[in-house]
């Protein structure tokens, strides 16, 4: 954190939970209202919203029109994350509120994408269960798959996608992608996700998407195009995928395996997935390392400190 300025007269609303060390630092510098933790956050906000000049959320708990209506003096909202899908960007721009993110997590998200890919190919979680259950000896674990040299498709080649691709180069993968923007990269661009899926052994979902409730971009036909030997990794958002179609494809063996860090109704995970051996599940931990969480927290604090010192936001996106 670049300075230690305190602003006890500035009242901030927490619209999403924060790591304890971020919360401590926010409390040290500002007056904090943890409205997200109230039984009825909007009712709580209605009581104090007129005094609030700053808000703090995260990628899964963004700034909505309703929040904005209840905070007429809001100047800035600092998100601890990069996802914008839960924030209403049009309403934020209309109001001229500054929105900041923490663009320091791309390496970690890409690392987890590769970890999930390897876990699927080499059956890491299943092998661990196998050993712990004392099955090594009497039984044999079925053979895994070789990630090195696979045809890897990336849906989304933004700041996360490009880091996944760089790591896959180390695995000698044949890399292809779809993205609304034509990127200046030595990878094959495909016009749509279905064509990409047909040409891929493993498909990584790295795209930013619309808000929850928008039609999913990945559904049954993509899973069928990947096929019974195909692999799917999602480190983006659960609602970009038709989750029941994914569960069916995995359960029926129409899709080989999946590595999933995100789900439609987090923290709920479809029960059927829990019984399957061909899926690796992590609880939305793509940016959850000590190093990155510290850097993200510092980014949140520094944006707010800079703004309320009159020096502007450091990493604004709106
Ligand atoms: C965070 C994310 O864990 O940046 C994002 O959008 O999804 C994750 O890095 C999320 O903000 C929840 O804290």
The enclosing domain of 34 has a CATH number of 3.40.50.720
Among protein residues, the one with the nearest Cα to ligand 1's atom 1 is 81
Catalytic status, residue 291? no
Output the pLDDT for position 277: 96
Catalytic status, residue 237? yes
The mean pLDDT values, 10 residues at a time, for the chain of 318 residues are 84 98 98 98 98 98 98 98 97 98 98 99 98 97 98 98 98 98 96 98 96 96 98 98 98 98 98 98 98 98 98 97
Number of compact structural domains in the chain: 2
The best mutation among 105, 207, 290, 297 to test binding of ligand 1, ranked by most ligand atoms within 8 Å of the C-beta, falls on 105
Q: Are residues 114 and 76 in the same domain?
A: no
**What's the CA-to-centroid distance between 59 and ligand 1, angstroms?**
4
Q: Does any domain span residue 6?
A: no
Output the pLDDT for position 173: 98
Catalytic status, residue 266? yes
Q: Does any domain span residue 5?
A: no
60 in ligand 1 pocket by Cβ < 6 Å? yes
d(CA 65, CA 70) in angstroms, rounded, equals: 9
Q: Are residues 297 and 270 in the same domain?
A: no
Output the pLDDT for position 258: 98
Q: Are residues 76 and 220 in the same domain?
A: no
Q: Are residues 17 and 133 in the same domain?
A: no
Among protein residues, the one with the nearest Cα to ligand 1's atom 4 is 81
Q: Are residues 121 and 232 in the same domain?
A: yes
Q: Are residues 142 and 68 in the same domain?
A: no
Output the pLDDT for position 121: 98
Q: Are residues 96 and 217 in the same domain?
A: no
The best mutation among 60, 103, 206, 299 to test binding of ligand 1, ranked by most ligand atoms within 8 Å of the C-beta, falls on 60
Output the pLDDT for position 4: 76
Residue 42 lies in domain? 11-104+290-308
Output the pLDDT for position 289: 98
Q: Are residues 81 and 214 in the same domain?
A: no
Output the pLDDT for position 100: 98
Q: Does any domain span residue 317?
A: no
Q: Are residues 133 and 265 in the same domain?
A: yes
Could you tell me which of 200, 254, 244, 199 has the C-alpha nearest to residue 218? Answer: 244
Q: Does any domain span residue 318?
A: no
Q: pTM value?
A: 0.96
């Amino acid at each position: 954190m670049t300075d230690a300025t305190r602003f006890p007269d500035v009242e901030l609303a927490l619209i999403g939970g924060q790591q304890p060390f971020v919360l401590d630092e926010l409390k040290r510098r500002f007056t904090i209202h943890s409205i997200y933790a109230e039984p009825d956050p909007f009712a709580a906000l209605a009581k104090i919203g007129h005094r609030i000049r700053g808000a703090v959320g995260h990628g899964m708990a963004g700034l909505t029109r309703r929040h904005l209506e209840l905070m007429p003096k809001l100047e800035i909202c600092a998100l601890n994350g990069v996802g914008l899908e839960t924030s209403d960007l049009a309403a934020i721009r209309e109001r001229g509120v500054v929105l900041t993110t923490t663009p320091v997590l791309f390496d970690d998200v890409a690392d987890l994408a590769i970890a999930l890919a390897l876990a699927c190919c080499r059956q890491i979680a299943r092998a661990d269960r196998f050993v712990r259950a004392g099955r090594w000896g009497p039984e044999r674990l079925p053979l895994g798959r070789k990630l090195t040299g696979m045809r890897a498709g990336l849906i989304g080649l933004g700041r996360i996608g490009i880091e996944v691709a760089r790591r896959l180069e180390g695995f000698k993968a044949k890399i292809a992608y779809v993205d609304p923007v034509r990127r200046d990269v030595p990878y094959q661009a495909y016009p749509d996700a279905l064509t990409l899926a047909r040409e891929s052994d493993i498909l990584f979902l790295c795209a930013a998407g619309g808000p929850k409730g928008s039609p999913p971009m990945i559904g049954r036909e993509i899973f069928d195009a990947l096929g019974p030997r195909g692999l799917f990794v999602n480190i983006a958002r659960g609602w970009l995928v038709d989750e029941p179609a994914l569960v069916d494809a995995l359960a029926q063996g129409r899709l080989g395996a999946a590595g999933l860090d995100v789900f439609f109704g987090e923290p709920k995970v479809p029960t059927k997935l829990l019984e399957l051996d061909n899926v690796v599940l992590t609880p939305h931990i793509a940016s959850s390392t000590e190093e990155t969480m510290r850097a993200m927290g510092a980014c949140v604090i520094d944006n707010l400190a800079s703004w309320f010192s009159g020096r502007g936001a450091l990493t604004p996106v709106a």
